[in-house]
Structure formats: C-alpha cells, structure tokens
Structure 1
Amino acid sequence: MRKSDLINRIAEKTGIPKVDVLVTLEAMFKEVKQSLVDGENIYVRGFGSFITKKRAAKIGRNIKRNLAVEIPEHYIPAFKPAKEFVNDVKASEKAANASKKIDESGD
C-alpha cells in the first residue's frame, strides 16, 4: 500500500476530503520526524512507539579501496510495534498469505 492508497482509504472510511486527509497525514509525519530529531520518542498506546536507537561506533570497510573506515556512533529512527499490534498481525491470515506471495516471488 502506498501513501495515496492510505489517503484514499481514510477518506472513504471517514468522509473527510482527500486533501484534508493528505494535509493531516503530512503534518503527522512531519511531527514524528521533528520529535525524533529533537530526541523525543513518541508512544501511541495500542499501536507502537517511534524511537531513536543508538548505533555504536564500528569499523567498516571500503571494499573498492580495501580501506578500514571508522563509522562513528550515531542514532537511527525505529518503530517498535505494541504487543496488541503484533498479536493482530500474527493472527491475520491475510498477512500470512501476503508473506507467502513475497517469498514465492523472490522479492
């Protein structure tokens, strides 16, 4: 599902015009990004948490030049789903079928 598909579904289910749904969704994404940049995690009960994870410094390798490269400590955005969310997906036959289709296609 793409963002446009999500916007269409929300508009159909709520009766809100697509333009308003788009503006709201974009505002939400912008706030999530800005909150993580500011070091604030976002917790949505029953859905999950948008958090930043710390990656330790490590030595990487530039294969073309065969050089060791130091990768400094850094933070990455992550999503941790709530137990309720995970259990709903585990119990879903549609999710299992979608996963099988992806495995069979080799993607």
Structure 2
Amino acid sequence: MIKSELVQIIASRNPHLYQRDVETIVNAIFDEITEALCESDRVELRGFGAFSVKNRPPRAGRNPRTGDTVDVEEKWVPFFKAGKELRERLNSGD
C-alpha cells in the first residue's frame, strides 16, 4: 500500500470528509512522526507499534564490485517494533 491508496481508503470510509482534507491529515501525521524521530523521540501507537531511532556506529565495509575495503560512516536509522496486537493479528490468520 502506498500513501495515495491509504488516503483513498480513508476518504471512502469517511464520505463526510473531502479527499484533500484526508490527504492533509495523513501528511500531518507522517510529518509529526518524522519530526519526532528527527529529535530522537520515540513515537508509540498503541496496538500498532513503536518508531524509534537507532545509532549504527562507523565500521569497515566492502565494495561488492571491487572487493575494496570502504569506511562506512556512523548513521542514525529509523527502527520499527510491532506492537502486541499487530503481532497477534498477523499470527492469528485474520
């Protein structure tokens, strides 16, 4: 599913809302999650999961084409941990 499909589904389930308003709401939610992660905050959506940021320390990598050793810089990456309800729904077969 892509963002435009999500907007269409929400708009079809809520006919009293305009699609452009639903798109604005979805964009606002994603922007707030992104902003919180940029500030190293944790975002928890009960029943769905939690977004956080993890640090990947610098390391020596390998160029797959040439086999040369390459220094990979430290970086921060987003991390998602599924919530209990989501895991249960995925494993129940519903």
TM-score of the superposed pair, with normalisation by structure 2? 0.86
| Structure 2 unaligned regions, length at least 5 | none
Report the CA distance between 1:22 and its aligned residue.
Answer: 0.3
Report the CA distance between 1:65 and its aligned residue.
Answer: 4.2
Give the equivalent residue in structure 2 for 1:46: 47
- Matches of residues 1-107 of structure 1 in structure 2 within 5 Å? 1-15=1-15, 16-93=17-94
Report the identity percentage. Answer: 31
Runs of 4 or more above 4 Å deviation:
none
Give the number of the structure whose residues are more often helix, by fraction: 1
Structural RMSD (CA) = 1.5
* CA distance, structure 2, for counterparts of residue 92 and residue 5 of structure 1: 23
> 2:54 is paired with a residue of what secondary structure?
strand
Q: Return the letter of the residue paired with 1:7.
A: V
TM-score of the superposed pair, with normalisation by structure 1? 0.77
Number of aligned pairs? 93
| Structure 1 unaligned regions, length at least 5 | 94-107
Ranked by relative contact order (alpha carbons within 8 Å, sequence separation 6 or more), the top structure is 2
* CA distance, structure 1, for counterparts of residue 3 and residue 93 of structure 2: 22
